Amino acid sequence: MKCRTMKKVLTKSLCMLAVFLLATACGKEDDVSQTNNNEDSKTSYVYLKKYGVEIIKVSIQKEEFVYSLSVFKGGNNTAFEGNVKISAWTEEELTAYNKNKGTSYVSIASDLYSVTPERQTFTKEQKSLNFDVKLIPEKLLKVIGENTKAEYVIPLRLESEDVEVKANRQDLLLYISLEAPMLKFAFYEKTVFVQEESTSFNVGTVLNYKIDGKASGSQWDFTSELVVPENASELVTTYNQSNKTDYELLPSGAYDLTEKVHYNINDTKAETTVVIDRNKMEVKYYLLPLKLSTPSSNVVMCDNGILYCLVSRSYNNPIIAFSAPDPTVIHTDDGYFYLYGTEDTRNMPIYRSKDMVSWEYMGTAFTNETRPIWEGEHSLWAPEIRHFDGRYVLYYSWAKWGDEWNSNVGVAVSDSPTGPFIDKGCVIDAQDMGVQNSIDQFFYEDGGKKYMFWGSFRGIYVTELTDDGLRVKMNADGTPVLKKRICGNYFEATNIYKKGEYYYLFASIGSCCEGAKSSYTTVVGRSKNVLGPYLNKTGGDMLYDKYEVVLKGNSVWAGPGHNSIIQVDDDGVEWLIYHGYKKLEADNGRVVLLDRLHWTDDGWPYVKDLAPSVSSLIPVFR
């Protein structure tokens, strides 16, 4: 028990000692005259009552600030006379102090303060003397406002030619805490997607100001400007090095900073607007560094912090925030892209866009009156749009969930991409072709022949179509001229793309439709023949369920797949349009996403990070 009690006492004593040391780590105040050691009994000396680092709060509300500095006598004999003075440290002395203490203090210029009187004389009777350190806050504001990140001090030293100065009690650093209104950015990084010809974004600011320690609103009606720093190019270089990016400085003609930040009396925050001219930008990533400057009130300081605006002609995923699964896209002579999707919107939704980023709803491919009716009521899934022979040809899956032998491929035609589409009936009948779950068709024309690829988790097959593309091409005996299985049972949602000497077969594996739990994944194989075999990197055949991954889910997105025919922009960049679930908004259904298709050096396609992007640079169309 005694040992345990002693441990408690010792622990408590150590804690009290730690608190004491912490409390005395900065400014110190000692009454050395009360000490009675042998050294003090033999000497007479002078010392500063406060020494070390002393924080002084200088209010901009006052015309003059005065700090009273006390000098005391000490030792056994204090009945002496002598001159004392307060002098400033040299820059070399402050540099040495900073190096020793690990600080970075900056000395206030001597013309910004005064010590009065310059020197004083102790009489035998006097025990202490006072010196006044005087500051003009408004003058101080101008200096500190030029570098608000610096830590300013007035380094002072007690000196005497007549009497000893107590060692370690002769130096005082007055650390200046200026209580002035400080204008700062509300944030120091902002992402700006420029999609309109003239894109505006807000820049928020806050005014930090205290009166007698309490937060206060502005006492002035004033404005401040946004400017690009003179060293903007250097700032961009430093930012790129720190963040491993490759931004360029936004060209000066691409932005307008004429609107100022305006504060009314009592305001604590305010915004201004920056305008970006899209036509003065290329499709690349830019950086626009901004700082606050030139407040119209001479008592307001602007923080030196830099706001980095990350500016680009970019888009956010999803590009269509409504459920439009299994998208198919065509670029038409009128300059528009038209997108069609599975009928989560009844009768098959149609969207239109000039840039594949901003889409407008155009209606549906069918109406209740023109909707296909063969073999009774089904669902319209997985459209595939083409244009040949002067008309738009829309293939569709006429499907019944769970009835795979009664799920087939149909076709409709129209003179316009927005319809009305006139149904032409069945193209591929599951029972006639002997292929269970005959859906997810894909049309491909090669070497003067029209092919139809189709199938869903019961093998992927290919057949040849008639010249008008409306029926399967048959032999005289009524059998198809071509029916070939090219993929195993892992796959659905086939898509063929030719690049160089290879045909690339894109497909989807996994579960398509389980919301945030969907495991849909986009995969690929390639062949030098449109009819296969389609192989992975190591020669594994898709017929035996081998593949390479192009795109899969991540922490944000689930089930990315069933991509449209690949689109190419005016810079030759290939783009993948596909559907997926946003995990936190899975109830919105399978929304439409867009991503750039990259290629490895040995010719394999992939999406960056093998996952849907949140945002990216837009496709280029001139």
Tens digit of pLDDT for each residue in 443-499?
Answer: 999 999 999 999 999 999 999 999 999 999 999 999 999 999 999 999 999 999 999
Per-residue pLDDT, 6: 38
Give the lowest-confidence range in 6-20, 55-69, 294-308, 499-513. Answer: 6-20
| Co-location of 250 and 295 in the same domain | yes
Compute the half-sphere exposure of residue 498: CA atoms within 13 Å on the CB side of its CA: 10
3-class DSSP string for 282-343 = CCCEEEEEEEEECCCCCCCEECCCCEEEEEECEEECCCECCCCCCCEEEECCCCCEEEECCC
Query: Is residue 7 domain-resident?
Result: no
Catalytic residue among 343, 384, 492, 541: 492
pLDDT tens, residue by residue, 136-157:
988 888 888 778 789 999 999 9
| Co-location of 386 and 529 in the same domain | yes
601 part of the active site: no
Residue with tokens 């796959």: 491
Q: Look up the CATH number of the domain holding residue 215.
A: 2.60.40.1740
Q: Is 32 helix (H, G, I), strand (E, B) or coil?
A: helix
| Co-location of 408 and 485 in the same domain | yes
Per-residue pLDDT, 146: 78
| Co-location of 363 and 226 in the same domain | no
Q: Rounded to an integer, what distance in angstroms lies between the CA atom of residue 575 and that of residue 30?
A: 75
Whether pLDDT at 394 is above 90: yes
Q: Rounded to an integer, what distance in angstroms lies between the CA atom of residue 372 and that of residue 617?
A: 40
Number of domains in the chain: 3
pLDDT tens, residue by residue, 275-287:
999 999 999 999 9
| Co-location of 89 and 232 in the same domain | no
Give the lowest-confidence range in 85-89, 300-304, 410-414, 506-510. Answer: 300-304
Catalytic residue among 54, 303, 326, 429: 326
* Amino acid at the residue 326: D
326 part of the active site: yes
Tell which of 312, 334, 368 closes a domain.
312
| Co-location of 121 and 196 in the same domain | no
Query: Is residue 120 domain-resident?
Result: yes
pLDDT tens, residue by residue, 45-63:
999 999 999 999 988 878 8
Query: Is residue 17 domain-resident?
Result: no
Q: What is the mean pLDDT of the chain?
A: 92
Query: Is residue 6 domain-resident?
Result: no
**Backbone φ/ψ region at 335: left (φ over 0), alpha (ψ -120 to 50), beta:** left
Per-residue pLDDT, 144: 84
| Co-location of 394 and 362 in the same domain | yes
Strands 198-208 and 182-185: antiparallel
Q: Rounded to an integer, what distance in angstroms lies between the CA atom of residue 235 and that of residue 177?
A: 28
Query: Is residue 291 domain-resident?
Result: yes
Whether pLDDT at 40 is above 70: no
| Co-location of 392 and 455 in the same domain | yes
Tell which of 312, 344, 374 closes a domain.
312
| Co-location of 73 and 112 in the same domain | yes
| Co-location of 333 and 461 in the same domain | yes
Confidence band of 28 (pLDDT split at 50, 70, 90): low
Tell which of 150, 179, 208 closes a domain.
179
Query: Is residue 16 domain-resident?
Result: no
Rg, the chain, Cα only: 39
Query: Is residue 11 domain-resident?
Result: no
Q: Look up the CATH number of the domain holding residue 380.
A: 2.115.10.20
pLDDT tens, residue by residue, 318-376:
999 999 999 999 999 999 999 999 999 999 999 999 999 999 999 999 999 999 999 88
Give the lowest-confidence range in 22-26, 137-141, 265-269, 279-283. Answer: 22-26
Contact residues for 443 (Cβ-Cβ < 8 A; gap 6+):
384, 386, 393, 395, 450, 451, 452, 465, 469
Supply the range of the domain harboring residue 450. Answer: 316-617
| Co-location of 478 and 613 in the same domain | yes
Query: Is residue 10 domain-resident?
Result: no
pLDDT tens, residue by residue, 536-586:
999 999 999 999 999 999 999 999 999 999 999 999 999 999 999 999 999
| Co-location of 274 and 358 in the same domain | no
